[in-house]
Each structure stands twice: as structure tokens, then as C-alpha cells.
Amino acid sequence: MPRRYAASRIATAIGLMMLLSPVVRGNESDQQMGVAREMVKVLEAYAVYKMGQYDLAFERYQALAEAGSHQGMYNLANMYSAGQGVAQNDAMAFKWYLKAAEAGDRLSMSEVARAYAEGIGTRANPVQADYWRTRAAEQP
């Protein structure tokens, strides 16, 4: 039942994206399709994560992260932090939170600030903690 529900939610999301997307031409259309594909991949990774298939979710989030997806980076960092689908590793979690933060992800900025404040996965650095806390607060 949960698998059917997850598959149904993914299908619904894809359908909504297609219906709500304006008709465009050229590069803008290609860009929108790229965003839509990334969203579908994130939803698929989330679905397997929610089903407790952490190894598969980790692989999917890793592929997304390596392709530059902020959501993939953030969720990969979360999985390293919690040791889900991979051995727990604060240094690797910090690495991926930092990459996502540098790419503009607000939630990752907050995690980087916390890591610097508490010395989790990196050396404690109050100046960096304040910097990332401020950057996160400035994000919409």
C-alpha cells in the first residue's frame, strides 16, 4: 500500500507540473524540463526514503547531489548525519551541507552555522557560525 501511495503521489506531481507549465520555446523550455526532471528524481528518492529503503535513497540523493541539486546535497548530508543508508559521518555531512550552502540553500546554511558553532564535522569557528547564520537569515 505505501508503495502504491508513493507512486501515485509522484504521478500526480508529474501531471501537475505538466498541466501548470506554460507553453514556451527554446532554451526556456529545455530549462523547465530539466527542473521538472530534477523534481521527479527528488520525489522518487524521497518516496524510497519514506519506505525505509535507505540504501536506495542514499544512492539517488548522491546522484542528485553530484549533479548539483541543492535538495540532493541537503538530503545526502542528512543521511550522512543520521547514518541512514551509509555509515554515520559528520565530516561528510558537513561537506555536503557546505556545498549546498555555498550554492544558496538556506536550510544548509543553517546546518553549516550549527556545525561551526558546535564543532560538528569541522572545527568550531564562531566567526564562520555567525557568517552562515546571517546568510541563512537573509535568504527568502
Selected residue with higher pLDDT from 88 and 22: 88
- Of 68, 54, 122, the closest CA to residue 92 belongs to 122
Question: In the prediction, which pLDDT does 140 show?
Answer: 83
pTM for this predicted structure:
0.78
Determine what percent of the chain is predicted with pLDDT higher than 90.
Answer: 69
CA distances from 116 to 76, 109, 113, 127 (A): 19, 11, 5, 8
The overall average pLDDT reported for the chain is 87
